[in-house]
Amino acid sequence: MRFLYPNILWCLFALAIPIIIHLFNFRRHKIVYFSNTATLKTIEQENAKTKKLKYIIALIMRMLFVAALVFAFAYPYNPDQKLKTDDADNLVAVYIDNSMSMQSQSSEISLIEDARASARKIVSNISPSQRFVLLTNSRQPDNEYPMNQDEMLMSIDAMQTESSPMSINVLYENLQMIMRRNGFKSASLFMYSDFQDNMMNLDGIVADSAIQIVAMPLKSDYQQNIYIDTVWLSSPILQKDLANEINVRVVNESSKEIKGLPVNFEIDGKAVAFNTIDVPANGRNDISMQFILNENGKGSVSINDFPITFDDAYNFTLNVRPVIKIVELSTDNGVSAIQTLFSKDSLFNYTRIDPRRIDQQYLSDCQLIIIDGDDIVNETMMQSIFDLAKEGCSVVLLPSESSENFESSKFSEDTLSINAIASQHPFFDDIFVSIPENADLPKVYKHVQINKSRFNNSLSLISLQNGTSFFTLSKIGAGNVFAFASKFDKNWTNFTENSLFVPIMYKIAMLGGQVNRLSYTVGVDKELSVNDLTAFSEGDIRIRDVENTFEMIPMVELRNNRALIRLYDELPGTGFYTINHGDEVLATTAWNDSRLESKMKFFDREEVDKLLKDKGLNVLAVMKADDIRSNNVMEMMVRRSMMWKSFIIMALCALLIEILVLRFWK
């Protein structure tokens, strides 16, 4: 046991006061005259020993009372629970959660500024001989090398306030790595965070008793939030000068219903649409707004919600779809139904090629590949086509009476009708609203059973009367593989003459790969894909913000005639960034913050303490808000020791026993 204020122990000399009182017994005696004192002498002789024991017990209780008070005011604490901030082999690590949720208000300043001010006090009160590291979600390499006190204070002041959140297990492992790399035997970790639900992941953490943890939970005065969760297009394909529809989802993280919340929609900074939305308490609601796009643009949807504003806007790019390239691999020289459908439409660039005479490189930038009888394609080409599907291309497989993707042994010439359509599947969302009971559905005269075992997640979209699948969808990577149980031939089915044929084939073509993403998430998405490789042959690819205040040279990997761009570092913030080759802009991308931080769910002091200790971590203290703002946080942490309360209780008990002894011991 040690004491925070050991000088107060000099007050133990006050123990001499009750001893002096006991020895000299300054009580004055009153003389009483009796005619016969024989009886009184007998009583005095009988009670002398009892009185002496009574006064000794009272003396002990008085001394215990004084000693307990002195120990209590000296603030005793367990030395094992003291920070090792005076040890040369100890590393002082300060973690400041600089995620977006820390921009919320605490009293009169933001949580991030509250944490910054307290961290400065801690560093200033520690011996300058100590070594420091500043840990943030940004993972700045310069901050993770041991610094002196002045460098640490400068790093705290220069810390940026925008970054994606980091889970506790990643933070802990990072500190362990820094300790090993620099040869420190122990570390003291001060954690400043609002301890939002999304960061409280301790899976796989390996506890290290040499790492002392002092948690500093910061609580916002605003525990409610309204934010834009996501944005999506009703149709994934935007066509020039045609009406399009944007959908916006607004979430209300509060116990109060929101009515008439304004939602603004802009393209390239110009207002396009405006609407209002009602959002139930602790719920969400969707709203749609129409627009017409003449050329590619930068879109933004926004609301107003103070003080948490980082999630009040959602950025996205709107790109008019270029001509869709369709290749039909077929050995048939006749005019096919697919050729009739696509060849005269200016939206499509249709080509039919004999697979025995094709260069596989020609397929690399296709949006749709149709294989008319998959036995005409060798296994090598088929695997290459499936690799393209993983990158986002759509593939349609039509059967033959002998093929690997269909069970030819189950070839049937029974005439059947289509019996069931999975109309609730998103594939059919914009094809029809409902199917009439007497709808004229296609008939099938020949069919084979689709081999679903080739793909792990094949789903039947249209089924026949006998329960077998007529049309299936398999998701592989970013693309889709569609399979039909019949060839598009009049001897096999009349599907091509049915009203379902055109919208289904158009939908398959529109879902073809290489559709630009609406937006990306800062700190989450690390890869971007660009289709045009003409600029990549010479390299010199750069990512810039639209104001040309930021530039990054990314890593570029060429794959299947597409460029995969890898970001080795986080972008500085949300907004629009261009992919450039010299002064030429190859593509524009939109970036938003993760909406995980928009959810108002936080862990309180007790929950943080229990969660960390349940994992076996060496938690010295989980501080209160008032303690965090103290001028000497380490002193306040020692003050949190409960041992002084035990001495106060001991003093009160001693005083009570003394009163009882003197009052009732006759």
pLDDT (tens digit, 9 = 90+) per residue, 420-444? Answer: 888 888 888 767 656 777 778 899 9
Q: Tell me the C-alpha distance between 49 and 55, whole Å.
A: 10
Which pLDDT score is estimated for 341? 92
In 365-436, where does DSSP find H-type helix?
A: 379-390
Task: Please give the pLDDT value at position 13.
Answer: 86
- Per-residue pLDDT, averaged over 412-422, amounts to 87
3-class state of residue 211 by DSSP: strand
Q: What is the pLDDT of residue 78?
A: 63
Contact, 446 vs 452, CB < 8 A? no
User: Mind listing the pLDDT tens digit for each residue in 117-159?
Assistant: 989 988 988 888 899 999 998 877 778 889 999 999 999 998 8
CA distance linking residue 487 with residue 495, whole number of Å: 9
In this prediction, residues 31-48 reach a mean pLDDT of 60
Helices and strands (H and E) in the chain: how many: 12, 35
Percent of the chain past pLDDT 90, that is, above it, reads 32
236-242 long-range contacts, CB within 8 A, separation 24+: 236/510, 236/511, 236/515, 237/321, 237/510, 237/515, 238/293, 238/318, 238/319, 238/320, 238/321, 239/320, 239/321, 239/347, 240/293, 240/294, 240/295, 240/320, 241/292, 241/293, 241/294, 242/292
The Cα–Cα gap between 444 and 505 comes to 18
- Burial of 603-630, coded b for 16+ CB within 10 Å and e otherwise, reads bebeebbebbeebebbbbbbbeeebbbb
CA atoms within 13 A on the CB side of 191: 30
Cα of first residue to Cα of last residue in the chain, in angstroms, is 40
Question: Comparing C-alpha atoms, which of 345, 348, 449, 450 is closest to residue 394?
Answer: 348
Report phi then psi at 482, rounded to 5: -105, 140
* pLDDT, tens only, 180-205: 999 999 999 999 999 998 888 898 89
Residue 426 makes CB contacts below 8 A (sequence gap 6+) with none
DSSP character for 376?
G
Residue 77 pLDDT > 70, yes or no? no
Per-residue model confidence (pLDDT) at position 576: 95
pLDDT of res. 514: 55
**Cα dihedral sign for 394, 396, 402, 407?**
positive
What is the pLDDT at residue 41? 59
Question: Which DSSP category does 441 fall into?
Answer: -
How far is 329 from 397, CA to CA, in rounded Å? 10
Rounded-to-integer distance, Cα 31 and Cα 40, Å: 13
CA-nearest of 470, 534, 482, 471 to 512 is 482
142, amino acid identity: D
> How confident is the model at residue 493, as a pLDDT?
93
Q: 590: which 2 tokens?
A: 């939109």
Q: Which two tokens stand for residue 402?
A: 């002998």
pLDDT confidence bin for 615, thresholds 50/70/90: very high
- SS3 of residue 556 by DSSP: strand
Q: Does residue 545 surpass a pLDDT of 80?
A: yes
pLDDT in tens, 447-473: 888 877 777 788 999 999 888 899 999
Q: What is the mean pLDDT of residues 67-83?
A: 75
> E strands within 546-647?
551-552, 555-559, 562-566, 575-581, 584-592, 618-622
Q: What pLDDT does 364 receive?
A: 79
Res. 91 pLDDT band, cuts 50 70 90: very high
Of 80 and 211, more confident: 211
- pLDDT score at 290: 92
pLDDT of residue 4: 67
> What average pLDDT score do residues 216-230 get?
87
Q: pLDDT for 374-387, tens place per residue? A: 778 888 888 888 88
Strands of 555-559's sheet, edge to edge? 527-530, 562-566, 555-559
321/244 Cα distance (integer angstroms): 12
Query: Rounded distance, CA 486 to CA 447, Å?
Result: 5
Confidence of residue 302 (pLDDT cuts 50, 70, 90): very high
d(CA 193, CA 217): 6
Please, what is the average pLDDT of the chain? Answer: 84
Q: What is the pLDDT of residue 666?
A: 66
By three-state DSSP, how is residue 68 classified?
helix
pLDDT at 89: 86
> Kindly report the CA angle at 11 between 10 and 14, in degrees rounded to 5?
125
Structure letter (DSSP) for residue 196? B
Predicted pLDDT at 164 = 75
- Residue 597 pLDDT: 85
* Omega cis (within 30) before 307: yes
Q: What is the pLDDT of residue 293?
A: 87
Assign 532 a pLDDT band (cuts: 50, 70, 90): low
Instruction: Choose between 42 and 338: higher pLDDT.
Output: 338
Candidates 575, 532, 539, 577; CA nearest to 555 is 539
Indicate the pLDDT class of residue 513, thresholds 50, 70 and 90: low
Would you state the pLDDT for residue 409?
57
- For residue range 271-285, list pLDDT tens digits in order: 999 999 999 999 999
